[in-house]
Structure 1
């Protein structure tokens, strides 16, 4: 597929005929990243909502389409809202909404803040420019988790504003110190958060995204946004990854496979803690050398989090696990899951 990395389309207050009958038909009508501007009461203010940086994460698109096609029944948004739909080609590849990025492509959400202006890096720059040109009050990037999971937010900084924005969607936020070329790591001179709405096939995840957009639209421009609920703060997770050329399998029993074998129900740990001594899978004769868990100083701290019991991969301490997935492609090309030792509690106003 030939991709024009230097093109982006703008739609202004689109009519129903442009939005098509459903979100799938609308997606199929798009050829390139698309910016949709909706006018609000305070036309000097704008908020930005980004989605489909990954082509297999549909909740943001579904919610945006639902909200746009409901505008006649909803109050006028308090401010202008700019929606940006990004990886259109990957999302449109068959089967629809199944590919994170195209074969031979790269992850668009690893291309921001990098001094290149070709290919996916050029597209990332176009998206950044589309955000900066409206000087937004805040930026929200809507995603789905790679496995079944409750919703949570991720932010590189935490203030009252990021916590309030989190509460528009969910009740937990991760303070992340990671630098992986993601959109929300960029400095837009405003609060910027990622919302992991839940699993891509979970109707509740689509509802999380829609209710959050409604909350954004109805929130008056203000220095302090109203907090909807208490929010748990989780500090600086690390990404558990495979080392190069390590094989990965999933199973309920170990059958001597090379590399790393994770439990085939690993996604259950997204819904709670993994206690000290909990077995998560099995390792071959190389043991923990198959894995790396890099901290902010790029040191492998795998031994602080995991240990071996015979050939079993075991939690060395009580852990919280996020974004565990049985999607082998994502696990091998991104990470097995995110992990922290403990949370910091809740914050309420």
Structure 2
């Protein structure tokens, strides 16, 4: 299928017929990224929710479809709502919701870069590839900016079991309150990856990681959050639904280029790095100081990259080797650890932060 990266479709107050029989049929009825506008009581304000930036993260679409079906011809939301469904082609590939992005394409949530960032990349001889993906990111960004939103929420999933958490580039009353509609943890991130959340929309903007993509509870979290947002009168100050813990500035643990990655229950002598097969369990409880999480070959932690904000590799502040074991030097919190090898290699093994950082 040839993808038209210049296409974006618009639906206004969709009917029962347009919403199809279920969310899967609804997805398959779309020919590309789709903007759904819902008229609210106050038509001078608009709230934006994006979903399916990555095609294997379905909770936002499932929850959005359920909310639309539930609210057809029912009560109006407090303000206009704009929902943007992004990587429709990737999500529609069989089996549904199995592809993060189309093969030969690029993760759209790494394509939201400024003109200045593109110029810097070109100056370094690293011009962006797959220009169509950057064009699509611009279309999505324009669809957000054209309604001057009072908030933007980007719904995601982890590919593996995980608690729900929020991510934001700033911590304010508004971001904490919005996060509280979904979860009890907000990560303050200053990472620059080309993600939607990093853009300045002159309003609160947060990412919600709803939990594992195959977890029914993740879909429930997304639905409840959308319903809260739709029915909240004023987001200038929102009463927090629950206390929100703030975790500061996680780093991305990655493999160096060409290093082999394996998963196992015990040491099988693989080259490169081998992580414990149950690495996903650490998403819930963290890693204790001196706890083993895997095995290394003769290159030890030289296989790994953990860059600080100055692009220094500080891997030895967080991990060390004991014989051929990979061991934590600190009490750590980790996020989005997965046994999905493709994602671990293309993105990162997981996000990590020293445990005491969450004290403020």
TM-score category of the 2 structures, normalised to the smaller one: over 0.9
Give the conservation status (yes or no) of the 8 Å contact 1:114–1:121: no
> What are the superposed Cα offsets for residues 224-256 of structure 1, whole Å, 9 maximum, x if unpaired?
122110001000000000110111110001111
Structure 1 Cα separation of the partners of residues 139 and 155 of structure 2: 18
Give the conservation status (yes or no) of the 8 Å contact 1:241–1:293: yes
**Which of 189, 206, 230 is the aligned partner of 2:243?**
230
Secondary structure in structure 2 of the residue aligned to 1:227: coil
Secondary structure in structure 1 of the residue aligned to 2:355: coil
> What are the superposed Cα offsets for residues 308-345 of structure 1, whole Å, 9 maximum, x if unpaired?
01111100010001000000000000000000002555
2:256 is the counterpart of 1:243: yes
Of 117-126 and 290-299, the range deviating more from structure 2: 117-126
> What are the superposed Cα offsets for residues 71-129 of structure 1, whole Å, 9 maximum, x if unpaired?
04753210000000000100001111100011111111000024369310000000000
2:101 is the counterpart of 1:101: yes
The CA RMSD over aligned residues, in Å, is 1.3
Q: Residue in 2 aligned with 1:33? A: 33
Structure 1 Cα separation of the partners of residues 312 and 74 of structure 2: 51
Q: Residue in 2 aligned with 1:92? A: 92
User: Where do 1:113-152 residues align within 5 Å?
Assistant: 113-115=113-115, 118-152=131-165
Q: CA offset at residue 146 of structure 1?
A: 2.3
Structure 2 Cα separation of the partners of residues 23 and 14 of structure 1: 14
Structure 2 Cα separation of the partners of residues 286 and 346 of structure 1: 34
Structure 2 Cα separation of the partners of residues 63 and 193 of structure 1: 17
Of 215-224 and 290-299, the range deviating more from structure 2: 215-224
Q: Residue in 1 aligned with 2:112? A: 112
Structure 2 Cα separation of the partners of residues 103 and 223 of structure 1: 42
Q: Residue in 1 aligned with 2:16? A: 16
Q: Residue in 2 aligned with 1:328? A: 341
Q: Residue in 2 aligned with 1:69? A: 69
Of 147-156 and 72-81, the range deviating more from structure 2: 72-81
Secondary structure in structure 2 of the residue aligned to 1:228: coil
Secondary structure in structure 1 of the residue aligned to 2:191: coil
Secondary structure in structure 1 of the residue aligned to 2:333: strand
Secondary structure in structure 2 of the residue aligned to 1:70: helix
Return closer, same or farther for 1:168/1:346 CA change in 2, 3 Å cut-off. farther
Structure 2 Cα separation of the partners of residues 254 and 237 of structure 1: 28
Q: CA offset at residue 222 of structure 1?
A: 4.2
Q: Residue in 2 aligned with 1:187? A: 200
Instruction: Give the TM-score taking structure 2 as reference length.
Output: 0.94
Return closer, same or farther for 1:343/1:61 CA change in 2, 3 Å cut-off. farther
Give the conservation status (yes or no) of the 8 Å contact 1:279–1:314: yes
Provide structure 1 residue ranges, at least 5 long, that are not aligned to the other structure: none
Q: Residue in 1 aligned with 2:329? A: 316
**Which of 175, 185, 208 is the aligned partner of 2:188?**
175
Aligned length: 347
Structure 2 Cα separation of the partners of residues 255 and 95 of structure 1: 32
User: Where do 1:227-306 residues align within 5 Å?
Assistant: 227-306=240-319
Secondary structure in structure 2 of the residue aligned to 1:75: coil
Structure 1 Cα separation of the partners of residues 100 and 358 of structure 2: 33
Return closer, same or farther for 1:346/1:30 CA change in 2, 3 Å cut-off. farther
Secondary structure in structure 2 of the residue aligned to 1:169: coil
Instruction: Give the TM-score taking structure 1 as reference length.
Output: 0.97
2:199 is the counterpart of 1:199: no
Q: CA offset at residue 147 of structure 1?
A: 1.4
Q: Residue in 2 aligned with 1:164? A: 177
